[in-house]
Amino acid sequence: MRNFNVRVYGILIHEDKVLVSDEHIKGMNVTKFPGGGLEFGEGTIDCVIREFKEELALDIEVISHFYTTDFFVNSAFSVNNQVISIYYLVKTKEHFDPKQTSFKISKKPFDFEKKKEGGQSLRWINLDKISENDFTFIIDKRIGDMLYNNLK
């Protein structure tokens, strides 16, 4: 059977840096944007708001749509599963002070117990240095490239 997997991500920019998530998923270390899977009956904006609340304890609002996958991507984790990713530019509802968050900000990638399923660390990448090479999945690579090129 062929299925669709809809993923929704938020691009949170603060002081010319973007927040990324390093995670251990199904035996792989991956770098991606914060967000996750759309649940049945949920809208895409509700999904990204829920994901930020669950993963980061942040109340966010969507500023605008940034990108929706416009090419075929097969899931890295299962055969015959097409991934469609939707990215939104987001901001925090309250004044945001990255030094006063409930989540740990790391300076290095994968700053969590290695090989632990569900391990996650967050870090900031400077927008003037961001590259597609900072990301694991092809769609996130495209977003990294788009963010960099929007600065030119």
Q: What is the pLDDT of residues 82-106, one digit of tens each?
A: 999 999 999 998 877 766 677 778 8
Domain range summary for the chain, segments of one domain joined by +? 3-95+119-150
What pLDDT shows up at residue 98? 67
Q: State whether residue 69 is helix, strand or coil.
A: coil
Q: Would the pTM of this model clear 0.75, i.e. be above it?
A: yes
Contact at 8 Å (CB) between 11 and 88?
A: yes
Over its C-alpha atoms, the chain yields an Rg (Å, rounded) of: 15
32: phi then psi, degrees, rounded to nearest 5: -150, 180
| Matching CATH number, 3-95+119-150, of 3.90.79.10, 3.90.1410.10, 3.40.50.2300, 3.40.50.1360 | 3.90.79.10
Strand partners, 11: 89
Compare 36 and 28 and report the one with higher pLDDT: 36
